[in-house]
Chains A and B, each alone.
Chain A
Amino acid sequence: MDRNDYYGGDSASLNLTQLYRKFRPDQAVPAELGRDRDYAIDLVPKFIIASGELTKILVHTEVTRYLEFKQIAGSYVYRDGKISKVPSNEMEAVKSPLMGLFEKRRAKKFFEFLQGWKDEDPASHQGISLDNDTMKTVYEKFGLEQGTQDFIGHAMALYLDDDYINKPARPTYERIVLYSSSMARYGKSPYIYPLYGLGELPQAFARLSAIYGGTYMLDKPIDEIVTDADGKFVGVRSGNETVKAKQVVGDPSYFGAGKSDGGKVRVVEEGKVIRAICLLKHPIPGTDEADSCQIIIPQNQVGRKNDIYIAMVSSTHNVCAKDIYVAIVSTIVETGVPEKEIIPGLQLLGPIYDKFVSVSPLYTPTADGKADNIFITNSYDATSHFETVVEDVQDVWKRMIGTDLILKKREIEGVQE
């Protein structure tokens, strides 16, 4: 069941009519933007990591028969006032304008160390223990500058803040390896993206579920989560109909998020994300006219605690009319004036034709759901990819079923609501 008349909830892709209805209910869609049907504007800026967990699920479940993907054309990082391509191996590091001559040599040694690492071969460890030494120790061993650490930790390991530096190095190592192997897979960037927008993903899973007998209801308001005297889940009420089930799974917006109805508190807010959907009439300056890209502004570079992300797609991905570019600038809110916080990102875009800004609370469930059979997911976070979403799906599965989600036979489709 979905209260919206479209699939995908917070991760839907909207056409122009839907976009304006959501953000500017009293304004007509400007005719110069072209045809409604040419648009599929994402509400959350996320790309798929080519060698990541979501790709494995897409392939395994065969929803790929409903989807077509293209590469994101470039991955960029901001350093000292300008943007440059993110190098993904020692060869690219040597050529990168991100670093000076001596730093390049140090970075080359660092990448060679990561690529040469073998758990079973102590000679490849160079005295480092990935499990006991912190990432700080690793950076220091290779003498990497702060700015180099910024692009490695934020544009390759894709950490949102600097907490990882004082933690064991292995997760960072694994994230960098994932980035490099994803990059190597298709060549231009480590990311892929579904034609017609991210909203194709829930539609494809829904279609797959439907052909195996699943039933979907759109445009169906959810008025009440019905529970028994012990607080256990009974059913969901819509108008004067109640559908009963043993378990329910859904996103936080269906379980009291943002409302104080005096009932049980099932979700709590843990921060906010600001997202600005910007329509441009030109590619982003400094990206070689790329038809799509990601730009990461590491927090240190602009005096923040959280990175600013830019995700841009265009008509190449069938999400807008020709010569329109859709860029979403986002970050985790740190102050009372969130719109001011994304200015460093907006400034990289050049003239902005139109901008749709939203500030969304991030909700997380207060309980694992085992006691009342109510299983709630997390809000879509500020990360630029789907890895945490997959972790959430795997976690909900384990909470509901009691065992790990293992993709071995064709029996797990459409875990989505």
Chain B
Amino acid sequence: MSKQFQFKLVLLGESAVGKSSLVLRFVKDQFDDYRESTIGAAFLTQTVTLEDQTTVKFEIWDTAGQERYKSLAPMYYRNANCAVVVYDVTQSPSLDKAKTWIRELQRQADPNIVIALCGNKTDLSARRQVTQEEAQKYADEEGLMWGETSAKTGEGVSEIFTAIAKKLPLTAPPPRTATRGAAGATGGRGVDLNKQSATGQNEPCNC
């Protein structure tokens, strides 16, 4: 029997650096030049199989445009096991924005979160503004993983997600959501509203 693990992965980064395209390439191996933001999906999932047949299932959260207008709430990266912070190699300011997100994660997210810095759009090499050396130096200083990708050609995409899967601590299945504060004495787990709604079904909801 191979082991299976599930992790929450969040994407962060400035608008238009290709976060959704990166996910689409990873999950469906597709690319769309004029992509609109994902509508209606809470998150996507994709599974990576490692060499020892361990499978790592990513629950991938995209920003749904909430990175604009400073409206991405702490809830988004709460309990995330890993984060891919994306910048556009053709836009220097997008790396600064990525650094801001990394500081925010270091301050507010789970201290054990695995963070990968990802330079996207390497297919546009003629317009490159961010060198590999510059980004990698910063990533090393901060203890982050780093890689470059092209969501358009697919270059580097599966590599970066696989590298994250290898780096995640595969010792115990992580809780799907936080139970860190769950002291045994209090009964631990939360309540399930959905399950209980079945008993209230005899009164049709005409509120």
Contacts and interface: CB of A to CB of B under 8 A. Distances in A.
Nearest to B61: A207
B153 to A, nearest CB: 28
A195 B180 CA distance: 11
B76 A207 contact: yes
A207 B193 CA distance: 19
Interface in A195-229: 195-196, 200, 203-204, 206-207, 210-213, 215-220
B108 interface: yes
B171 interface: no
23 contacts: A6-B73, A37-B107, A55-B193, A59-B193, A68-B177, A68-B190, A70-B190, A185-B196, A186-B191, A192-B191, A195-B178, A203-B74, A206-B71, A206-B73, A210-B71, A211-B40, A211-B41, A212-B39, A216-B71, A220-B69, A316-B183, A405-B207, A406-B207
Given A207-B76, A291-B186, 10 more contacts: A50-B196, A53-B207, A59-B194, A68-B177, A69-B190, A203-B74, A217-B69, A218-B69, A315-B183, A407-B207
Interface of B: 37-42, 64-66, 68-71, 73-76, 78, 107-108, 177-178, 180-183, 186-187, 190-191, 193-194, 196-197, 199-200, 205-207
A65 B191 contact: no
Residue picked from A192, A195, A203, A210, most chain B C-beta under 10 Å: A210
B130 to A, nearest CB: 27
A186 B73 CA distance: 30
A55 B199 CA distance: 13
A56 interface: yes
A385 interface: no
Contacts of B78: 196
A59 B74 CA distance: 22
Nearest to B108: A37
B9 to A, nearest CB: 16
Point out which of B70, B75, B199 has the most chain A C-beta atoms below 10 A from its C-beta: B75
